[in-house]
Structure 1
Amino acid sequence: MIVIGVSSGTSADGIDVAAARIDLEDGGAVVRLTPLGFGTTPYSASLREAVRAALPPAATTMEAVCRLDTRIGQEFAAAALRGIEEFAGGRADLVASHGQTLYHWADGATVHGTLQLGQPAWIAEATGLPVVSDLRAADVAAGGQGAPLASTLDLLMLGGRAEPTAALNLGGIANVTVVREGLPPRAFDTGPANALIDAAARLVTGGRADLDADGAIARTGRPDPVLLEHLLAEPYYRFPVPRTTGLELFGPGYLEAALRDTSRARDGGRPSDGDLLATLVELTAVTVADALEPFGVTEVLASGGGTRNPVLMERLAARLAPARLDSSERIGLDGDAKEAYLFALIGFLSWHGLAGSVPDCTGARRAPVAGRLTPGTAPLRLPAPSPVPPRRLYVEAPGG
């Protein structure tokens, strides 16, 4: 099948679209994924503003939720249609849409619900294709965290390695998947990756910049010990795994509260711009390294937007040593595109009656088939369920 994966992360800056040819081989035991293309379509300025205005801890209305669900669905539909034309030669079989997370209902270490908006009927109408959406809710209903779903792809790609290895995704929130031979895998959110760094960039630039491009501001400063100690006291870092989090905790208000709480130590002021960004970079590096330390990993393969911040990557490499830090591109998958390909894979698995999450990694009681299915314009004909779950995934170069 040719599957289109569409998603938007916690930064809400655009829609990632990936096209992949995905096949089941060896009686279903092997998945072969051939990337066909990837791109990002920015949200319209008005929708981006509306999404950010509705993110926690902001109050909202059911009218706003309805408008967001519709407009996100429409912009996802347009992005998916462009992806089909540009990357798949105008032909695809299925769309898998993660949508835009607006709320992840976590109470301590327990997740009660999760909400992704982006009405799939608009995607099905625009493309004519069936759409698998709402990819996290089944795992939550089965007692899981609904995340990190990246573990579904990570385990298929990294399984069988002799040395303990971690896959690290640096989005708004950092998550890891740990693979160890002979031991159950583990996956969880370590804490903020870009979420607080981006909030600080908006703060110090008066909203002119959404991120610290190339870590330029952070490189001018040093971590502020008072603020860093305060941030590291966050109880989340001591919750048992699996655990998940989001902007409900680590949003802009969290940073503002931390700066207020530590202002007395500097006579009511805040750290310099460079020191503030350097502190938040160090927070991400420390919390990722501390979270992985008990597992004795020897290699960490990173992906996500945070890999484009050289200061963050330098601090991660220093904190993770002697473990090696490398990019997921070393094993054949574009780090920026990884999540969109992940959702394409989960949609493909759901189409074949296969689970889209891993109970050892999400905490679910069982491994449910992910998502709900919106038919396209043609009659819906599902294949017979695959008889066995896949054990390996191979990424193959187009034409390879």
Structure 2
Amino acid sequence: MIVIGVSSGTSADGIDVAAARLESDGDLIRLTPLGHLAHPYSPDLRGWIRAALPPASTTLEMVCRIDTRIGQEFGEAALKAMEEFTQGRADLVASHGQTLFHWVGGSTVHGTLQMGQPAWIAEATGLPVLSDLRVADVAAGGQGAPLAATLDTLLLGGRSEPTAALNLGGIANVTVVRPDAPPSAFDTGPANTLMDTAMRVVTDGARDLDVDGALARTGAPDPDLLEYLLSEPYYRLGPPKSTGPELFGPDHLERALHEVGRPSDGDLLATLVELTAITVADALRPHGVTEVFASGGGTQNPVLMDRLATHLAPARLTSSDAWGLEGDAKEAYLFALIGFLSWHGVPGSVSDCTGARRETVAGRITPGAKPLRIPEPVVWTPRRLRIEPVRG
């Protein structure tokens, strides 16, 4: 079947959409990437989302507006991908939505809220839509994150050496696969979110991206600020664990600058790059990984990648492009995979990684233009994922 995966990450800078052909062959799933595009949010919607993210307060009216508009813009993005990559034909849309709140208390997730009303996506595309992909795992006692473990464990399984997949979105998350132990996955802490916040501070809101790490390259880490930031207790929690802007939002950086003082702009960005590199490397070191496959927007920052390579050594730092998946597209393909699994009644989360009592089938389904016909649940259990080249 052909599945359209649609998502927007913690940075809330736009919509990633990917089309994939998926088929099963015993315990092997074959995924053929058909195409990926980035669809920016409209300026007013992006502003609404940013204004509603923690620690800000909002109103139910704005919640309704955001939920509606995200659904509409996700629908436009999914339809565009269908027209561009599948000649207008597909079987399902799997929509992660936009996370507005991840309710964490200590090491327990009590709830999670992803917005983007799926009825608008179904109306735009005519396809059934799988949405709310995290909630079943949370209800079963899991973190609801990182769902990337679903794809990572299938791709990395069978390796003879400990290996990790690293996603550098707003928050950094890792999946560790070892031949002698169950897989593990968790959020390590901030990746881009604090750097983006700092850029908005130093440019008075004009920019939220340090393109190519240009500003960070001009500075050096401030030791006092770095020490203060590294004192955050989250880094010492054991997995499973997950986090988001509820903890690592603008107020997190504001408190640090108030306590320690604000360094020069270049030193501020260099400090936040170093924070991400250190916390990722510290989180992976106990697992003895020999290779790390990186994906996500943070891979476009050469300063961050250089510092990660230094701190991760002797482990090798490699791009997930080596798998045949564009680093920026990996999460959209992940959600297409989860859509395929749920459609066939197969769990879309890895309980060893999320901490859930059991593995759950992800999401809820909104019918499309035609009567809904879900196949009988399959009897196979996927154990391997192979990325196939596009056939001519």
TM-score, structure 2 normalization = 0.99
| Counterpart secondary structure, 1:279 | helix
Partner of residue 118, structure 2:
120
Partner of residue 10, structure 1:
10
1:388 positional shift = 1.8
Partner of residue 393, structure 1:
385
Partner of residue 148, structure 1:
146
Partner of residue 266, structure 1:
none
Aligned length: 392
Which segment drifts farther, 274-283 or 199-208?
A: 199-208
Q: Distance in 2 between matches of 1:128 and 1:333?
A: 27
Equivalent residue in structure 2 for 1:378, among 362, 370, 384: 370
1:182 positional shift = 2.4
1:89 positional shift = 1.1
Report Cα offsets for 1:339-358 as digits up to 9, x if no partner: 00000000110000000100
| Counterpart secondary structure, 2:195 | helix
1:209 positional shift = 1.0
Partner of residue 21, structure 1:
21
Report Cα offsets for 1:172-194 as digits up to 9, x if no partner: 00000000002110000000000
Structure 1 vs Structure 2 CA RMSD: 0.7
Q: Distance in 2 between matches of 1:271 and 1:377?
A: 56
| Counterpart secondary structure, 1:377 | coil
Q: Distance in 2 between matches of 1:380 and 1:90?
A: 19
Partner of residue 46, structure 1:
44
| Counterpart secondary structure, 1:209 | coil
Partner of residue 252, structure 1:
250
Q: Distance in 1 between matches of 2:259 and 2:105?
A: 23
| Counterpart secondary structure, 1:216 | helix
| Counterpart secondary structure, 1:378 | coil
| Identity across matched positions, percent | 74
Equivalent residue in structure 2 for 1:101, among 86, 96, 99: 99
1:108 positional shift = 1.2
**Corresponding position: 1:343 with 2:341:** no
1:113 positional shift = 0.3
Partner of residue 239, structure 2:
241
Q: Distance in 2 between matches of 1:207 and 1:217?
A: 16
Q: Distance in 2 between matches of 1:24 and 1:122?
A: 30
Q: Distance in 2 between matches of 1:275 and 1:317?
A: 20
Equivalent residue in structure 2 for 1:271, among 263, 274, 277: 263
Partner of residue 301, structure 2:
309
Q: Distance in 2 between matches of 1:51 and 1:131?
A: 22
Report Cα offsets for 1:200-248 as digits up to 9, x if no partner: 1111111111110000000000000000000000000011201000000
Give the partner amino acid of 2:341: L
Residues 167-316 of structure 1: pairs in structure 2 closer than 5 A = 167-263=165-261, 270-316=262-308
Q: Distance in 1 between matches of 2:9 and 2:56?
A: 18
Partner of residue 363, structure 1:
355
Q: Distance in 1 between matches of 2:226 and 2:150?
A: 33
Give the partner amino acid of 1:11: S
Q: Distance in 2 between matches of 1:343 and 1:71?
A: 20
| Counterpart secondary structure, 1:32 | strand
Q: Distance in 1 between matches of 2:152 and 2:385?
A: 9
Report Cα offsets for 1:126-160 as digits up to 9, x if no partner: 11100000000000000000000000000000000
Report Cα offsets for 1:293-315 as digits up to 9, x if no partner: 10000000000000000000000
1:33 positional shift = 0.2
Which segment drifts farther, 169-178 or 327-336?
A: 327-336
Q: Distance in 1 between matches of 2:180 and 2:222?
A: 41
**Corresponding position: 1:318 with 2:316:** no
| Structure 1 gap ranges (5+) | 264-269
Q: Distance in 1 between matches of 2:334 and 2:231?
A: 33
Q: Distance in 2 between matches of 1:40 and 1:197?
A: 21
| Counterpart secondary structure, 2:175 | strand
Q: Distance in 2 between matches of 1:23 and 1:271?
A: 53
Partner of residue 267, structure 1:
none
Q: Distance in 2 between matches of 1:111 and 1:388?
A: 30
1:165 positional shift = 0.2
Give the partner amino acid of 1:106: V
1:333 positional shift = 1.1
Q: Distance in 2 between matches of 1:238 and 1:329?
A: 31
Q: Which runs of 4+ in 1 moved over 2 A?
A: none
Report Cα offsets for 1:71-115 as digits up to 9, x if no partner: 110111111111100111110000000000000001111100000
| Counterpart secondary structure, 2:266 | helix
Q: Distance in 1 between matches of 2:154 and 2:87?
A: 28
| Structure 2 gap ranges (5+) | none
Q: Distance in 2 between matches of 1:233 and 1:111?
A: 22
